[in-house]
Amino acid sequence: MALFTSEYPFKVDRKGRISVPADFRTVLSQESYPGIVLIPVRGELALDGFGNGRLESLAEALDDPEIYDDEDELEQAQQLFAEARRLPFDGDGRIVLPEEVRAHAGITDKAIYVGRGSTFRLWNPDAYGAYKSKLNEKATAKGQSIRLRLAPKKKRAEG
Amino acid sequence: MALFTSEYPFKVDRKGRISVPADFRTVLSQESYPGIVLIPVRGELALDGFGNGRLESLAEALDDPEIYDDEDELEQAQQLFAEARRLPFDGDGRIVLPEEVRAHAGITDKAIYVGRGSTFRLWNPDAYGAYKSKLNEKATAKGQSIRLRLAPKKKRAEG
DNA sequence: TTGACGCCCATGAATTCCCATGATATCCGT
DNA sequence: ACGGATATCATGGGAATTCATGGGCGTCAA
């Protein structure tokens, strides 16, 4: 399975291009589509990112009547496809961030990729810093360390 | 299943490289990804380590809507992937400790691997010494020896 | 013509690969 | 059981490659 970790700050050049971390590209190299998918995150100066395979799975879920029981939720989920952008790699492993994408996240000349497991996020660097601080405060307020949970080992999806 | 035991002090060279104990590598040799995963331990000059398989299980748990019921907890767990580092072995079974990793644990030219069962920790050697002393004090204060417990043998997941 | 976009190349820096070395541990034959 | 040969392992350094980044040029459309 695809696994995204770590934080990678990158530059956006004057053409709106940005490199995708080599590690992420390696993870995505098994995908049929050479590129990434970006979807705006509501309420944050960030975008969710992943490979084409996950986008396909999300689309399949829309067609499955058992997954979205709430009609409004289904509608919202469908709308995410309208806001999604499929961005192909150029020959050097870069993508071009469309204007509306940069506008949503307030990205001008810098951005940071942040791994979150099976997906990643692309952030405005300052906004990410603020987000991290907020999370830290919450964590220390609760005064407990984060306890990671393991998925049950039943059926393991094959990579 | 993967089993990490013992304590292994190692050197960090000027390139930031450190060998992974041969014993650990043997344990990890069945993994799909040749390398280890390190995640900072909050409040200690140490990092938690394990193989890629465990990271996949952790990531799967994030995607499973039934596992993390609390939204804040989910967010904290996702953030751990941002702090996680996937470090591949070089041809000689070494990894490169990134600057942030060394900074978190206060590691410069020495570090010590400490087995903890299904995971291990990578410590600043002095901090590990202090940690051990603290544990000993606690134990003698309570005047009790360590009692190991066994999991019920019902369903044993195969490694 | 003016951009926007895709494709190609250049470059410096960081990273990875490859080989060397000495020490330790393991194997093997007598 | 002993000793020598062999293999494994931790560690160091230099060379080769990868990577992020910037720029140029041709094409196509407005």
**A1 contacts B82? CB cut-off 8 A:** no
The pLDDT value given to residue A36 = 97
Confidence of residue A156 (pLDDT cuts 50, 70, 90): very low
The pLDDT value given to residue A126 = 98
Provide the residue type at B58 as one letter.
Answer: L
User: What does the block give as tokens for A97?
Assistant: 């961030």
Q: List all residues 6 or more positions away from B92 whose beta carbon is below 8 Å from its beta carbon.
A: B19
Please give the span between the terminal C-alpha atoms of chain A, in angstroms, as a whole number. Answer: 4
Q: Measuring CA to CA, which residue among A156, A137, A139 is closest to residue A147? A: A139
Question: B18 and B12 in contact (C-beta within 8 Å)?
Answer: yes
Confidence of residue A154 (pLDDT cuts 50, 70, 90): low
Check if residue A92 sits with its Cβ under 7 angstroms from strand C.
yes
Check if residue A14 sits with its Cβ under 7 angstroms from strand C.
no
CA distances from A13 to A16, A17, A105, A108, A127 (A): 5, 5, 16, 9, 20
Mean pLDDT throughout A45-63? 96
**A23 contacts B86? CB cut-off 8 A:** yes
pTM equals 0.93
Nearest chain B Cα distance for residue A107, angstroms: 20
Check if residue B90 sits with its Cβ under 7 angstroms from strand C.
yes
Digit-coded pLDDT (tens) for B56-85 = 999 999 998 888 888 889 999 999 999 999
The pLDDT value given to residue A92 = 96
**Chain B hits for A138, Cβ within 8 Å:** 72, 76
Check if residue A15 sits with its Cβ under 7 angstroms from strand C.
yes
Digit-coded pLDDT (tens) for B144-159 = 777 899 988 765 555 4
Residue of chain A whose Cα is closest to the Cα of B79: A116
